[in-house]
Chain A
Amino acid sequence: MNISQSLGLMVQEFSHSFYLNFIKDDRYMQMVKGLGNTLLISVLAILLGVTFGALAFLLRNSFFLDNSRFKILRGLGKVLKGIGYVYVDVIRATPMVTQLLIIYFVIFASVNINAIFVAVLAFGFNSGAYVSEIFRAGIQSIDNGQMEAGRSLGLSKIQTMAYIIVPQAIKNILPTLANEFIVLIKETAVVGYISVQDLTRGADIIRSLTFEPFLPLVAAAVVYYIIIKFLTLAIAAFERRLRASDDR
């Protein structure tokens, strides 16, 4: 057998394998459907995560209550801080898959509920803890002199936050936040645990039909890679623009 013959054989084998895994019975639709769910869960979980993150951040920095005249409000501030702290602490110290399983099989055990909805909730809840840390780090990176300067002019703490601290912190927050989104998208690959058909599960379904793991799983990896690569490039371009505005 010469080289061209063996090459021809390989091409033939590959195209047969490709047909078997993707074309036959429209099997590629397993992955398309899965990709749709991956994107749906990611986007909604990102929005929910930012919301939870902002709430947790506000809880952990209940500064508007710190100097309250009323003892009960100062006490409430402490309780809210405690809740925010426990949330971030517990979420960050337990695995995502475990949280997903607990939310699906324990918390929503007795209710008949859409698994995709549960996934969005679980990933959003998880991401929120990290987002609140990103917010905290971003705000803390602003020199305390900025707060003092704002307050010394007579601005309230909230005004100083809104006009001086947050606009500066956003520049530090956005790139890190974008990276959190990337992590989140990849993390959604575990939703198969609660029988949601995402991109990974879609590829795995094909594998279980054809008993050929290579093509479907590598194809799934390639799709993830393309999505993440696209996002990474977009973030890099965005960061360059932010830095350009620093030089003015």
Chain B
Amino acid sequence: MIITNNLHKSFGELHVLKGVSEHIEKGEKIVVIGPSGSGKSTFLRCLNLLEVPTQGDIIIEGESITDPKANINKIRQKMGMVFQQFNLFPHLSVLDNIILAPMKIKKIKKDEAVAIAEDLLKKVGLFDKIDSFPGKLSGGQKQRIAIARSLAMSPDIMLFDEPTSALDPEMVGEVLNVMKELADSGMTMVVVTHEMNFAREVGSRLFFMDDGVIAEQGVPAEVFENPQNDRTKEFLRRVQ
């Protein structure tokens, strides 16, 4: 479903990704952990071309997105993305945040889009906030709305870039619960996270990234119990 082939990314002199080659299958829940600066966010952002790789290919559902002829807007519709800073649109109500993309891109009629939004808001437990503006919501609520907004485009893949890192501790749980439900529904997910318990419980495969490469990978529980790589051992010792 997602294939990356020798992915490299440099920001000027800084070589952040140093060759990532991976296959991610439909329905997998990939959790990506690693020290800051290891390239995990850059890897994720390359997958929907928010960062353009300096070298290598990315193939999504059989289509090369690194090909200059690729229609990136079309491909991005199949991939939702949730950001650390939520990035809700502050000038729009919760409802308008959710229905904007389906209406403008998929040309879905308003009443239909509203029905989708209401359904999603019930799923994330925020139906009562439908007419609120983002400024009036807590961090956890914002992030759940952001997830609903992405899901409104009915994507095949969901990317999460440290979705709980900007949240107060008491709000982390509500967001992780929504993500767990999403995982249970069979969504293909790639999650960059510092939540080790979430990684262990929900991840079907774990990537440990360090210095621009996937230094170790495997079933999360196994990697946590029995890390092979010295750098993985060192990292896990520090975070646990």
Residues of A within 8 A of B (CB): 69, 143, 145-146, 148-156, 159, 163-164, 167-168, 246-248
Contacts A/B (CB < 8 Å), 21 sampled: A146-B87, A148-B81, A148-B83, A148-B87, A149-B81, A149-B87, A149-B88, A149-B89, A150-B89, A151-B50, A151-B73, A151-B76, A152-B50, A152-B80, A152-B150, A153-B77, A153-B80, A153-B100, A168-B89, A246-B135, A248-B136
Tell me, yes or no, whether B4 is within 8 Å of chain A by CB: no
Contact present for A153 and B50 (CB under 8 Å) = no
Contact present for B73 and A155 (CB under 8 Å) = yes
Tally inter-chain residue pairs, CB-CB below 8 A.
Answer: 68
Q: A151-B50, A153-B150 are in contact. Are A163 and B87 (CB under 8 A)?
A: no
Residues of B within 8 A of A248 (CB): 133, 135-136
Tell me, yes or no, whether B236 is within 8 Å of chain A by CB: no
Separation in Å of the B233 CB from the closest CB of chain A? 35
Q: In the bound complex, how far is the Cα of B150 from the Cα of A150, in angstroms?
A: 10
Separation in Å of the B32 CB from the closest CB of chain A? 17
Contact present for B87 and A145 (CB under 8 Å) = yes
Q: In the bound complex, how far is the Cα of B92 from the Cα of A149, in angstroms?
A: 14
Q: A152-B76, A153-B149, A154-B153 are in contact. Are A145 and B83 (CB under 8 A)?
A: yes
Most buried by B among A151, A153, A155, A156: A153
Q: In the bound complex, how far is the Cα of B83 from the Cα of A247, in angstroms?
A: 24
Contact present for A145 and B85 (CB under 8 Å) = yes
B70-112: CB near A (< 8 Å → 1, else 0) gives: 0001101101110101011111000000001100110000000
Contact present for A146 and B68 (CB under 8 Å) = no
Tell me, yes or no, whether B48 is within 8 Å of chain A by CB: yes
Q: What is the number of residues of chain B that contact chain A, defined by CB distance less than 8 Å?
A: 29
Contact present for A154 and B101 (CB under 8 Å) = yes
Q: A145-B87, A146-B87, A151-B50 are in contact. Are A159 and B76 (CB under 8 A)?
A: no
The 8 A-B residue pairs with the shortest CB-CB distance, nearest first, are: A154-B77, A149-B87, A152-B81, A153-B101, A145-B87, A154-B76, A248-B133, A154-B105
